[in-house]
Amino acid sequence: MNRVIREEECRRITGLSRTTRWEMERDGTFPQRRRLSPNAVGWLWSDVKRWILSRVAGVGRAPHHALAMRFVPIETAPARRRRGRTRRSRAS
């Protein structure tokens, strides 16, 4: 399946920061981003997966799970609220 992944997913999948990926794209060592609209870009999942597999293969040991890698979408649940310390009322 060839689908487009966006910035957050690409960062989570590759573990690389936006700047690092941008520099690697410029050097030709990471897949080029695709313009989706004037304000949106993304990467083809097949290109990113191929890049990951080439990195694993370059190490010399491709784990069996890397060859069967599947995309797992980010949960769309609302962000969790942080709990702050609650003040205890003082007994007078």
> What is the separation, in whole angstroms, between the first and last Cα of the chain?
67
Average pLDDT over residues 58-71: 51
Q: Which of 17, 4, 18, 20 is nearest to 73 (CA)?
A: 4
Cβ–Cβ < 8 Å for 24, 13:
no
Look at 48-52, 54-58, 65-69, 79-83 and tell me which has the smallest mean pLDDT: 65-69
Alpha-carbon span 18 to 41, nearest angstrom: 12
What does pTM read for this prediction? 0.60
pLDDT at 21 over 90: yes
pLDDT of residue 55: 86
Return the H-helix or E-strand segment holding 19. helix 18-27
pLDDT of residue 66: 46
pLDDT of residue 59: 62
In a domain, 86, yes or no: no
Number of domains in the chain: 1
Domain coverage including residue 18: 4-67
In a domain, 72, yes or no: no
More confident residue, 86 or 54: 54
pLDDT at 33 over 90: yes
In a domain, 78, yes or no: no
In a domain, 84, yes or no: no
